Amino acid sequence: MVLITSLSAFSGADKAAEEAVPPPQQEREIPLRLPDAPLMQALMSEDPLSDADIQVRTLEVKPGETLARLFQRNGLNRTDLHHIMQLGGEVQSLARLSPGDQIEVRDDGHGNILGLSRQVDSERILHVHQSDDGFEKELETLPVQRQINYASGEIKRSLYQDARAAGLSNNLIMNLAGIFQWDIDFILDIRDGDEFVVIYEEIYRDGEKVRDGDILAAEIVNRGNRIQAVSYTDPEGDQDFYTPDGDSMRRTFLRAPLEYMRISSHFNPNRRHPTLNRIRAHRGVDYAAPTGTPIRAAGDGRIVQRGRRGGYGNTIQIRHGERYQTLYAHMSRFASGLSVGSQVQQGDVIGYVGQTGLATGPHLHYEFLVDGVHRNPVTVDFPAADPVGDEFREDFLTTTAPLVAHLELMRPGQWYAQRSE
């Protein structure tokens, strides 16, 4: 059975694009730029630009059209576009266009841009206008309302299917799995009868939902083990998920370094090698996945080996501090920009699944070493990330107490028991 309830918020182009779209730059002062000739003449004349001279047009992007082509098709000054793109920041969203996107442009009737506007997302509109010093930008924040929603359910098929039945979007389900990925393997660990509860925001404007917001708290009961997580943003603005006691939900390593279909070979010191046909210790775990599946770094570290390595094929080995190492083998290819000595962060894509070396099918061979000794990646205990700082603990407990209380109320069994009384 599945339940959803709602309450009010309780917490208050083509290559031509290269000519017009330079790489993102940091914020900087824009040097003085004189207007182009037609506009300059209008400014210097006794009869300056009037409202009748100004054109206001809404440009709609056609399939396959780039920003430069959009401007060219509409007779707009591409030099102006170049200067606008140099403003950086959210202005770069102008280069990320999809068919049907719209940009409102104001020009002087000769194609010289006086200003433009584009909605960046559901809550912000980018405005660019010409000033005495060139072009300037500003972001307009649209008023929205936040509503807290609750969803709970019992897992009978899979977390994805049952969470969808509970009304959760794909994005929320992925975020939910991400919160608990250090504690639960959602392919191997989930059992019939496990439960979930999610408290999350929905964003509305003028009475209509525009998108899902953030997950505020969640709980999963897995094999009888209850795991709770609450979101907390400290006074310095850093946000993360913690247990109700303030311990981090994160671990220094991911439980699995990719989205995989199944484990095709477990950690086994006495395994018979499928290609060599003799007993050969299998000191890692094989994750079967389609060729090209992204492989992520299990933790922060430095690449100490990258390249072809005998039967391992294309391999990357990462050192994580003094005690830990991870190894990723049989890759089809490496992620670009990485070499020996490169620093990587947990979750960074380092390569892609393949079957190079002695591999009978596409999979990732993954090894985890502690003090130079191979350990089973599926069962090894990972050290936790830092807990809530002592200086923020009181604020944490006060802020998250209502979330923990609502998790207790929203458990499927608890709710049905209350309703039957």
Checking phi first, is residue 134 left (phi over 0); if not, alpha (psi -120 to 50) or beta? left
**Domain that includes residue 137, residue range:** 17-141
257 occurs within a structural domain: no
CA–CA separation, 195 and 155 (whole Å): 6
The residue type found at 269 is P
Rounded to the nearest angstrom, the gap between the alpha carbon of residue 32 and the centroid of all alpha carbons in its chain is 38
User: What pLDDT, on the 0 to 100 scale, is given for residue 11?
Assistant: 42
Strand 102-107: give its sheet, edge to edge.
Answer: 55-60, 102-107, 113-121, 124-131, 134-141
The answer on 94 and 48 residing in a single domain is yes
Nearest to 368, CA basis, from 283, 302, 297, 281: 283
Same domain, 246 and 269: no
pLDDT in tens, the chain (421 residues): 444 444 344 444 444 444 444 554 444 444 444 445 545 554 444 455 556 678 898 989 999 888 888 888 999 988 888 888 888 888 888 888 889 889 999 988 888 899 999 988 878 899 998 888 889 888 888 888 999 999 999 999 889 999 999 999 999 999 999 999 888 888 778 899 999 999 999 999 888 898 899 999 999 999 999 999 999 999 999 999 999 999 999 999 988 899 876 888 886 665 555 555 555 577 899 999 999 999 999 999 999 999 999 999 999 999 999 999 999 999 999 999 999 999 999 999 999 999 999 888 999 999 999 999 999 988 888 888 889 999 999 999 999 999 999 998 887 655 433 333 3
DSSP string, 72-114: HHTT--HHHHHHHHTT-GGGGGGGS--TT-EEEEEE-SSS-EE
Same domain, residue pair 61 and 89: yes
- Give residue 50's pLDDT: 58
With contact defined as beta carbons under 8 Å apart, do 329 and 314 qualify? yes
From residue 49, alpha-carbon distances to 45, 46, 81, 129, 307 in Å are 9, 10, 21, 15, 64
| Domain end (from 120, 141, 162) | 141
Query: What is the per-residue burial (b if ≥16 Cβ within 10 Å, else e) of 193-232?
Result: ebbbbbbbbbbbeeeeebebbebbbbbbbbeeeeebbbbb
How far is the C-alpha of 255 from the C-alpha of 33, rounded, in Å?
A: 54
Using DSSP bridges, classify how beta strands 239-242 and 262-265 pair: parallel, antiparallel or unpaired.
Answer: unpaired
Q: Give the model's pLDDT for residue 385.
A: 87
Domain at 169, CATH number: 3.10.450.350
Do 151 and 171 reside in the same domain of the chain?
Answer: yes
The pTM (predicted TM-score) of the whole model is 0.64
Note whether residue 81 is domain-resident.
yes
Structure tokens at 312: 């391992």
The strand pair at 124-131 and 294-296 is best described as unpaired
Whether residue 10 is contained in a domain is answered as no
Residue 255 in any domain: the answer is no
Contacts within 8 Å (CB) and 24+ apart, 205-213: 205/122, 205/123, 205/142, 205/143, 205/144, 205/145, 210/122, 210/123, 210/144, 211/122, 212/169, 212/171, 212/172, 213/146
Looking at the structure, do residues 228 and 137 belong to the same domain, yes or no? no
Q: What tokens appear for 189 in the block?
A: 């660990």
Nearest Cα neighbor of 174 from 162, 187, 159 is 159
For residues 204 and 279, state if they share a domain: no
Out of 122, 141, 160, a domain closes at: 141
State the CB neighbour count (10 A cutoff) for residue 166: 22
Domain identity same for 288 and 355: yes
Euclidean distance between CA atoms 269 and 380, whole angstroms = 16
Same domain, 66 and 127: yes
For residue 186, the number of C-alpha atoms closer than 13 Å in the C-beta half-sphere is 25
**Is residue 8 situated within a structural domain?**
no
* Helix 393-409 with 412-420: angle, nearest 10 deg: 50
Number of domain units in the chain = 3
Q: What is the pLDDT of residue 412?
A: 64
CATH code at 355?
Answer: 2.70.70.10
**Same domain for 369 and 286:** yes
Q: Is 20 within 8 Å of 71 (Cβ atoms)? A: yes
- Cα(86)–Cα(21) distance, integer angstroms: 8
Encoded tokens for 331: 């890759």
Shared domain check, 134 and 25: yes
The reported pLDDT for the residue numbered 15 is 46
Determine, yes or no, domain membership for 9: no
Concatenated DSSP letters of 57-75 = EEEEPPTT--HHHHHHHTT
Q: How far apart are the first and last CA of the chain?
A: 18
Matching residue, tokens 């009475």: 207
Same domain, 295 and 201: no
What confidence score (pLDDT) does residue 384 get?
A: 84
Q: What is the pLDDT of residue 36?
A: 52
Computed over its alpha carbons, how large is the radius of gyration of the chain?
A: 27
Residue 6 lies in a domain: no
Instruction: Say whether both 413 and 330 belong to one domain.
Output: no
Q: Are 293 and 326 in contact (CB under 8 A)?
A: no
Residue 295 lies in a domain: yes
Among candidate residues 141, 167, 187, the one where a domain is terminated: 141
